[in-house]
Amino acid sequence: MFSKTAEYALRATIYIAQKSSEDNKLGIEEIAKSIDAPRSFTAKILQLLTKDNEVISSVRGPNGGFYITEKAKGLSIRTILETIKEDDVFTKCVLGLKACSEAQPCPMHFQYKPIKQQLIRLFETKTIRDLAKELKTGERFLANFRPRKKTRVTK
């Protein structure tokens, strides 16, 4: 569904939102490791998202790193995808027809329409904060490996 770029962008953003704050910034090393993505590539993607500090904020130097403001946490997941220009799913025809429209629908158009609308609704409704919150409960995961079995506490 999404490109690697989009996947890493989403994972990184959610991770940063969960773990960071203005006075607890995260380094690229930690971020990349935590979301199981290539370090330098992730850095490049974050550069896109830090343009004008719109989605992600960053500062350089010691104790620098990435974080997300409370305000930015209110942005929708779709916004992340729009920022990196990966929002084709929401706008394009399933069959890739430029001319596909309500007036000149492709054979999938009307059947796909309600699904697409749900997709849009989901990605527009869900905020960065929402996803970060879910993650915090420990019932959702970003790490790409099996969790260690809960060590049973023996008396």
Partner DNA sequence: ATAAATAAAGACAATTTTATCTTTATTTAT
Partner DNA sequence: ATAAATAAAGATAAAATTGTCTTTATTTAT
Residues of this chain that interact with DNA (CB under 7 A) are 3-5, 8, 25-29, 37-41, 43-44, 46-47, 50, 58-66
Phi-psi region at 141: left, alpha or beta (left = phi > 0; alpha = psi -120 to 50): beta
Choose between 65 and 77: whose C-beta lies nearer to DNA. Answer: 65
Q: Does 102 bind a second copy (CB under 8 A)?
A: no
The CA distance from 37 to 32, in Å, is 5
Q: SS3 helix, strand, coil % of the chain, rounded to 5?
A: 50, 5, 40
Residue pair 106/93 in contact (Cβ under 8 Å)? The answer is yes
Choose, by CB under 8 A, the member of 28, 43, 59, 100 that binds a second copy.
Answer: 100
What span, in angstroms and rounded, lies between the C-alpha atoms of 20 and 69? Answer: 9
Closer of 37 and 81 to DNA (Cβ): 37
Structure-block tokens of residue 27: 């380094």
64 counts as binding a second copy under rule CB under 8 A:
no
To a second copy, the closest distance from the beta carbon of 51 in angstroms equals 22
- Binding residue count for a second copy, defined by CB under 8 A: 47
Structural contact between residues 123 and 77, judged by C-beta atoms closer than 8 angstroms: yes
Q: How many residues does the structure list for the chain?
A: 155
Window 108 to 137, contacts with a second copy (CB under 8 A) = 108-109, 111-112, 114-115, 118-119, 122, 126, 131-132, 134-135
Residues forming the site for a second copy (CB under 8 A): 1-2, 4, 7-8, 10-11, 14, 36, 77, 88-89, 92, 94-100, 104-109, 111-112, 114-115, 118-119, 122, 126, 131-132, 134-135, 139-147
